[in-house]
Amino acid sequence: MPSPENRYFTNFQRCEFTQLTIYQPTDGNVVHGSRDAFELLIQYIADNPSRFETMGTARPLFEIARSQFNVEPFIDGFAIYTEEVIADLFPSLKPELVSDLINAHLHEHFIREHPVLGVVDPIADPHLSLFRHQVTSVANAIAQCPPSPLVGTCPPGFPQCQPCKPASVMRYRSLTNIPSKSYIFASVPHPYSFLSYLHQKSNLDARFVRDSEREEWISSVTSGIVDKRTGGYQRLQTLTDFINSQATIVFGGKMPSGLWQTWEELDPEGLESALGFQIETLSESAVEEDPPTVTATSIAIMAKAKERVLSQAPESGRDMVESWNLAWTELWYFLSTLQRHRKSEHLDIVGSFSF
């Protein structure tokens, strides 16, 4: 993988593209730019049709329209799967299996870079596993070495890669002691859902809420990384700073990267776009089944809690709990907005190639 300090690689991760940029010597295989930049190139071609009459393999587009491109040195660490490379390194590979091999290489490299997949859940009782069940199932699927049409092969440019070994899935009650090369999965419940599940109560009255610990989820997750006397909003700032630093998958970084979502709106489908590869073993049952410890009564309680949390209408019980846990509530809404933005951004990126 390219160095995370490389600004071009960082732009790739964040999809921050401006001028059309090509990397040499890749023969035009790696090109990026904004939608506006591509539209300017199309307009340039339309305004100068005679220039492109001789375009072909001997004289590629970027040489004819060189003024439209920013040419940069090749980024060390890119794996290029051209026909020539495949014929040289993987002569037995069938053409229809190239995408499967690339996906396997991406998945295996992710596991090498993130040997620990951490599931964040501060609930002490091991039998109360609802909020970590789905993300644990997802983490277990990702931790396994993927099927590959050519098992044991390395990506082009990485001849000395280590054989794939499954990652370890670990549960953490707080962010302390999580290895820097871990990848974190956090499913954050709304405080109303948390209290309903923890105390198995369908209705949370005012006296019960006032007697409950304020900002309990935030306090537990940040224990050990901030002073125990730190208030909810200071802890919230610590968490949002940490989550914001996880906007991309950091390889070789000093902080563990990860995916944070709300429990009520968990989006396993969006995980593949965030990771950059398909997860072959991620079945629907792995992310939809309730854990065995959840009773029928608990399922009914949580269905009601989830409905109240996601309701757009004013709801006295939910509003009361939110008022008692302002920082926690702000974190939940922050993640909810982040999820919607991430999904919208992904759709924008896909749509930008439809012109």
- Helix, coil or strand: residue 352: coil
pLDDT at residue 28 greater than cutoff 60: no
pLDDT at residue 170 greater than cutoff 50: yes
Over range 146-165, report the average pLDDT.
92
pTM of the model: 0.80
- Condensed to tens digits (0 to 9), the pLDDT of residues 203-242 reads 899 999 999 999 999 999 999 888 888 899 999 998 888 8
Between the two ends of the chain, the Cα-to-Cα distance in Å is 31
Tell me the CATH number for domain 107-351. Answer: 3.40.50
- Helix, coil or strand: residue 70: strand
Rounded distance between C-alpha atoms, residue 329 and residue 218, angstroms: 10
pLDDT at 118: 95
252: left (phi over 0), alpha (psi -120 to 50) or beta: left
Rounded distance between C-alpha atoms, residue 329 and residue 189, angstroms: 9
pLDDT at 249: 44
Rounded distance between C-alpha atoms, residue 90 and residue 100, angstroms: 13
* H-type alpha helices, 72-168: 83-89, 98-113, 130-143
Rounded distance between C-alpha atoms, residue 338 and residue 134, angstroms: 19
Q: Are 136 and 203 in contact (CB under 8 A)?
A: no
pLDDT at 243: 83
- Condensed to tens digits (0 to 9), the pLDDT of residues 332-349 reads 999 999 888 777 766 655
Over range 246-261, report the average pLDDT.
60
Rounded distance between C-alpha atoms, residue 247 and residue 17, angstroms: 16
| Lowest mean pLDDT, pick from 51-65, 120-134, 327-341 | 51-65
Per-residue confidence band for 355, with pLDDT thresholds at 50, 70 and 90: very low
Per-residue confidence band for 45, with pLDDT thresholds at 50, 70 and 90: confident
pLDDT at 263: 95
Q: Copy the structure tokens of residue 30.
A: 């790696």
Element at 45 (helix H, strand E): helix 35-47
What residue ranges do the domains of the chain occupy?
7-73, 107-351
- Condensed to tens digits (0 to 9), the pLDDT of residues 171-210 reads 999 988 888 889 999 999 999 999 999 999 988 999 999 9
pLDDT at 285: 46
- What percent of the chain is predicted at pLDDT more than 90? 43
DSSP category for residue 226: B
Per-residue confidence band for 252, with pLDDT thresholds at 50, 70 and 90: very low
- Helix, coil or strand: residue 116: strand
For β-strands 168-172 and 183-188, DSSP reports them as unpaired
For β-strands 21-24 and 31-32, DSSP reports them as antiparallel
Per-residue confidence band for 248, with pLDDT thresholds at 50, 70 and 90: very low
pLDDT at residue 2 greater than cutoff 70: no
DSSP category for residue 354: -
Rounded distance between C-alpha atoms, residue 258 and residue 140, angstroms: 15
Rounded distance between C-alpha atoms, residue 213 and residue 67, angstroms: 63
Q: Copy the structure tokens of residue 300.
A: 């009914």
C-alpha distances out from residue 186 to 122, 177, 221, 328, Å: 10, 16, 10, 14
- Condensed to tens digits (0 to 9), the pLDDT of residues 285-335 reads 455 567 877 888 899 999 999 999 999 888 889 999 999 999 999 999 999
Rounded distance between C-alpha atoms, residue 168 and residue 166, angstroms: 7
Cis omega (within 30 of 0) on the bond before 25?
yes
Average pLDDT, the chain: 83
C-alpha distances out from residue 89 to 85, 95, 159, 283, Å: 6, 13, 10, 32
